[in-house]
Amino acid sequence: MDKVKLGRTGLDVPVLSLGGLFVSSIGAELEQAREAVTHAVASGLDYIDTAPGYGNSEDVLGKILPDVSEPYIISTKLGKKENFNPQSLDDLKACFEGSLKRLGRDSVDILFIHEPERPGQYDWWSDQLNVEGPVLDYCQSLKEQGVIKAIGLGGTTAYEMARMLDTGKFDVVLTAFQFNLFHREAVDSVFVAAKKHDVGVVLGSPLHQGTFSAAYDCINDDSTFWLNPIRKQQFKDLYAVSKDSGISVPEMAMRFTMFNENVHTTLTGSKSAEEVDLNIQSWKNGPLSEDIMTRIDEIAERVPYRPSEEGICLGWRLRAPEGYKGPGHA
């Protein structure tokens, strides 16, 4: 597995890495998760990302990683769903120390501030304009102590994340939902700011929460009546590219992101050893051809920004289109 420098962190990361959400009980039983993680690290996917908000992911990894003999890089995040005040130093300490305890570690390589651009979810900043607050002071103190090596931002928007990166205060960015087969908002926002400040770029959710996990039959029937008509045609044409090329939609999605020059490492949601191998094979198959890239880019350009009625986790709805609840819902 090829390695690259993760920006100014100095960390060498594989171009393909392991996201921790689906090794939790959300996606896998413990033994299946154990096989996935140990096989991934042994195969060179030796960077693992997790978070307190990813179900019991940290607990699961804490049971698995002591048995991993190969060296690995690990990141987690500040932020949890309940009884957490982002402006409280005591709560910040309790959150991070809880992560260390669950992971069975006394340090991590990267600590991300989770959803830093969503004050309605986590009100991190005492001064949002200048991106200042107790959380940044705490992260900087951990870095000075050597408890973490890098401070990161992990979020799901484009332009506010870029503005935060332009402060020069962050070493890594984890961006999700803003760069994939259809969505390109990160190109002129997050990627530009990251390059300017030598920030490492971790690409999350290359399959866009299942949107590109398969060619969905519902695209061709009335169950997706709520889907933007141009978006629906995009899916049909993307599926035609898949059929013509003999490359599955998920493989196209993986190869599209992992070989992009702006992305240092792409997180996979592999929840089994078999899925790890499928993603490794996608990497071995190399970059997509110029012809395929041209067709994909033409399809993406038709809807350069996400329609307002489309939930950010579109893949959830394509798997169960009858569950659509209207704009603003996943």
Residue 284 CB coordination number (10 Å): 8
Q: State CA 194 to chain mean position distance.
A: 16
Q: Are 214 and 249 in contact (CB under 8 A)?
A: yes
The token duo for 212 is 């590109």
Q: Are 57 and 74 in contact (CB under 8 A)?
A: no
Q: State CA 245 to chain mean position distance.
A: 27
Q: Are 79 and 114 in contact (CB under 8 A)?
A: yes
Q: Are 76 and 58 in contact (CB under 8 A)?
A: yes
Does residue 186 register a pLDDT over 80? yes
Does residue 316 register a pLDDT over 90? no
- CATH T-level assignment (fold) for domain 3-214+249-290: TIM Barrel (3.20.20)
User: Rounded to the nearest 10 degrees, how much is the dihedral formed by the CA atoms of 192, 160, 73, 107?
Assistant: 140
The token duo for 97 is 């120390």
pLDDT at 327: 65
Specify the DSSP class assigned to residue 182: S
Q: Which residues pair with 200 in a beta bridge?
A: 172
Over residues 263-312, the pLDDT tens digits come to 999 999 999 999 999 999 999 999 999 999 999 999 999 998 887 778 77
Q: 75: pLDDT confidence band, cut at 50, 70 and 90?
A: very high
First vs last Cα of the chain: how many Å apart?
35
pLDDT at 330: 57
The token duo for 58 is 């940290």
Over residues 127-150, the pLDDT tens digits come to 999 999 999 999 999 999 999 999
Rounded Cα gap, residues 182 and 306, in angstroms: 9
Does residue 329 register a pLDDT over 60? no
Output 310 or 225, whichever has higher pLDDT.
Answer: 225
Q: Which residues pair with 13 in a beta bridge?
A: 4
Specify the DSSP class assigned to residue 310: S
Q: Are 260 and 16 in contact (CB under 8 A)?
A: no
pLDDT at 23: 87
Does residue 161 register a pLDDT over 60? yes
Q: Are 164 and 116 in contact (CB under 8 A)?
A: yes
Rounded Cα gap, residues 202 and 71, in angstroms: 19
The token duo for 147 is 């408890």
Crossing angle for the helix pair 134-145 and 89-103, to the nearest 10 degrees: 50
User: Rounded to the nearest 10 degrees, how much is the dihedral formed by the CA atoms of 36, 41, 46, 48?
Assistant: 30
* 77, 282, 286 from 18: Cα distances, Å: 15, 15, 19
Q: 328: pLDDT confidence band, cut at 50, 70 and 90?
A: low
Rounded Cα gap, residues 78 and 53, in angstroms: 9
Rounded Cα gap, residues 313 and 232, in angstroms: 16
Rounded Cα gap, residues 128 and 11, in angstroms: 29
Over residues 84-133, the pLDDT tens digits come to 999 999 999 999 999 999 999 999 999 999 999 988 888 999 999 999 99
The token duo for 139 is 């992260």
Rounded Cα gap, residues 232 and 225, in angstroms: 9
